[in-house]
A and B are shown apart, each in its own frame.
Chain A
Amino acid sequence: MLKVRNLKTYFYTQRGTVKACDDVSFDIDHGRNLGLVGESGCGKSMCCLSLLKLIPPEGNIVSGEVLYKGRDIFSMDNKELRKIRGNKISMIFQEPMTSLNPVLSVGEQMTEAVLAHKDINYGEAKALSIELLNKVKIDRPKNRFNEYPHNLSGGMRQRVMIAMAISCRPDILIADEPTTALDVTIQAGILELLDELQNEYNMSVLIVSHDFGVIARLADRVAVMYAGEIVEYAAAEDLFKNPLHPYTKGLLSSIKQIDKRDKRLSTLKGAVCELDNLPKGCRFSPRCDLASSECREALPGLKEISPGHFVRCVKSG
């Protein structure tokens, strides 16, 4: 349903070009969830924002296309783009505390989202909003409708964001680190809610996280991102059972396993390379145990090792 092809989003800064997304391609199928995983600063968020052309003004979508039902979002004019945003493809963000407008009531922010796309009157929009607040399990939805964001906790604000995002029954919900800023107990509730809604509305969720736990909970397919590139792309089960890229392996082994109590928590050495100062050759090579001189020279492409399992590594396959 959504095909992203060769997306390149660059930021031109005084220090140089920051390649936040470099030649990123993936598909989101109808009713299936895609997980996008990677360390902080690897370009996940910019990638998501690029899909709806929501990147900050300093950013540039250099090339690529995003095909929604065959139509390229990047070549749409503003009016067409508005019809997609919040209606066919909607989005929730990492920071529920700042994602709602502090001076507008919950009700106003919800109804305007519906009224922007649907041909209904205010009364109907209000009834729908209250029903949605109830659906995302906010208590006293009628009162909450008239309240302001500062009356709500972080978890509740994220629920309001979700209610708002699904109000037009979108085909795709982009959830950019939806639980990162929340307490662990609240995280579980939000993920459960997303799971339920995905089933009920039969939509696709693009779930973005640095946390494999979150990804594993929701995703059918997973794309692993490193330094602006997708380094591994496979069905979720396949990826967890049989990770092929050294980076994916490293990430998975750094998850603490309770049954291996005595073992030291393994970590990836080094830090994510700076996006404006990329190493020559494979971008992961400076941190990779397997790296050879070949890795530092060649730029590996994404290869299909087994059906539907793609890896960007010289050593694999």
Chain B
Amino acid sequence: MLRYITKRLLLIPPMLIGISLITLLAMHLTPGDPASMRYGLNPEVSGSARAHLKELYGLDKPVIIQYGGWLKRIVTLDFGDSFIDDRPVIEKIKERLPATLILQISALILIFSLALPIGVMSAVKQNSFFDKATTFLVFIGFATPTFWLALLLMRFFGFQLEWLPISGMSPWYAQDYSLPRRILDLLWHLILPLFTLAFTGLAGISRYTRYSMLEVIRQDYIRTARAKGLKENKIIYHHALKNALLPVITILGLTLPALIGGSFIFETIFAWPGMGRLMYTAILQYDYPVVMGVGIISVFLTLIGILISDILYAVVDPRIRYE
């Protein structure tokens, strides 16, 4: 088990290097640069001033040297300062990361706690009304564009009924609230984005669970469990589900990148102050240090997430533990 975890931990640094290098190259391949972004349309800024700015940011050197410099700083956890407002990148990320994590982790918990029972029930009662109804519903959710559903919900619950806030995470005056009130306020703001994420994301996990359960409940060892005289609930939720979870855990690992990186479009629509929006703005402004910083943190957290799913995998399946 320890060897298994160490092996996976050792894979993280090379992946970080690869992904950050690709991010930097991609940024440099896009037309334009930070200097022209800032002063490009200003005729009073001379060419030499622009060159001076480039030199200041180290943008006059070859890309690979720039990358080397960035890498040297990053190992000391120095993420650099933003080109736009000169604030440390790490601070900007610190402000944004909790919002993304709160939203995405609660969405993930909600999705799993709904999708697993739905998947199990519709497999056990295959072709029943419940199975058909949930199949219909989760596919509606799967086929619905997130942004479109978000806009519809905002219009109905936000504007027409005025029940729920349409955007943001907490209003500016919320800092005066007591802690319980602030939590309630946050939950209130979470309802719409959470529902949107859960409804559109339910299909994957529930369908995989259903498919996987259908396969498992036909296995010989399920018949053995029945022949032993075990209760049906124990057979389904212990003997069968533990086997059926294996492919679902793989899916969990694959869902994590979107989860931590946040979603550009989603966070922009709901004005959710998360990583996705930070990244989106930074890309538009050629703010290389922020893009690199957000990128590397997202990738790092994603890799940690995948590591967790790998460990979960080993917890569930003894055959992997002894590999």
Which residues in A have some Cβ–Cβ distance to B below 8 Å?
A: 49, 52, 54, 56, 78, 82-87, 90-91, 93, 95, 98-105, 112-113, 116-117, 148, 150-151, 161, 164
CB contact between A101 and one of B221, B227, B232, B322 (< 8 Å): that residue: B221
Determine if B226 is an interface residue (Cβ-Cβ < 8 Å): yes
Among B223, B230, B242, B316, the residue within 8 A (CB) of A54 is B223
Min CB distance B313 to A, Å, is 11
Residues from chain A with Cβ under 8 Å of B316 in the complex: 103
Given A117-B229, A148-B318, A150-B319, are A93 and B223 also a contact pair (CB < 8 Å)? yes
A99 touches B221 (CB 8 A): yes
Neighbour of B228 across the interface among A49, A105, A113, CB < 8 A: A113
Known pairs A93-B220, A99-B221; A84 contacts B318 (CB<8 A)? no
Would A78 and B319 count as touching, CB distance under 8 A? no
A56 to B228, CA, bound (A): 16
A90/B227 in contact, CB under 8 A: yes
Of A52, A102, A112, which contacts B319 at CB under 8 A? A102
Contact present for B227 and A85 (CB under 8 Å): yes
From A78, A99, A150, A164, contact of B220 by CB (8 A): A99
Q: Which residues of B contact A150 (CB under 8 A)?
A: 318-319, 322
Q: Main secondary structure on chain B at its contact with chain A?
A: helix
Task: Identify the closest chain A residue to B219 (Cβ).
Answer: A98
Nearest-neighbor residue (CB-CB) of B242 within chain A: A103
Alpha-carbon gap, A139 to B269, bound state (A): 65
Shortest Cβ distance from B212 into chain A, in angstroms? 13
Nearest CB in chain B: distance from A39 CB, A? 22
Bound CA span A169–B199, Å: 51
With both beta carbons as reference points, the residue of chain B lying nearest to A112 in the complex is identified as B230
Number of cross-chain contacts by CB at 8 Å:
76
Which 4 pairs of residues, A with B, have the shortest CB-CB distance?
A85-B229, A86-B229, A86-B228, A98-B220
Q: How many residues of B contact A (CB 8 A)?
A: 24
B66 in the interface (beta carbon within 8 A) = no
Partner pick for A56 among B218, B238, B243, B317, CB 8 A cutoff: B218
CB distance B317 to A82 under 8 Å?
no
Q: Which A residue sits closest to B315, measured CB to CB?
A: A103
Contacts of B234 in A (CB 8 A): 112
Taken together as a complex, chains A and B put the C-alpha atoms of A117 and B230 apart, in Å, by 9
- Asked if residues A100 and B221 are in contact (CB atoms below 8 Å), the reply is yes
- Report the Cα distance A129→B232, complex, angstroms: 23
Q: Does B224 contact A (CB under 8 A)?
A: yes
Taken residue by residue from 227 to 246, chain B's Cβ proximity to chain A (1 for < 8 Å, 0 otherwise) reads as 11111101000110011000
Contacts of A93 in B (CB 8 A): 220, 223-224
For A95, what are the chain B residues with a Cβ–Cβ distance below 8 Å? Answer: 220
* In the bound complex, CA of A103 to CA of B232 (Å): 18
Known: A82-B229, A101-B239, A116-B231. 20 other contacts (CB 8 A): A52-B227, A54-B223, A84-B229, A85-B229, A86-B229, A90-B227, A93-B223, A93-B224, A98-B220, A99-B221, A99-B223, A102-B221, A102-B317, A103-B243, A104-B238, A105-B318, A112-B228, A112-B234, A117-B229, A150-B318
B225 interface contact, C-beta 8 A: yes
Within 8 Å CB of B319, what residues of A? 102, 148, 150
Interfacial chain A residues near B229, Cβ < 8 Å: 82-87, 113, 116-117
Which single residue of chain B is at the shortest CB-CB distance from A56?
A: B218
Assess whether B243 is in contact with A102, with CB atoms less than 8 Å apart. yes
CB distance from B58 to the nearest CB of A (A): 54
Complex Cα–Cα for A105 and B228 (A) = 16
Give complex CA distance A20, B291 in Å: 67
State the Cβ distance, A91 to closest chain B Cβ, in Å.
Answer: 4
Mask: chain B, 243-257; 1 = CB below 8 Å from A; 0 = not: 100000000000000
Which of B218, B231, B242 is within 8 Å of A104, CB to CB? B242
Min C-beta distance of A4 to chain B, whole Å: 17
CA distance A148 to B239 in the complex (A): 14
Residues of B within 8 A of A87 (CB): 229
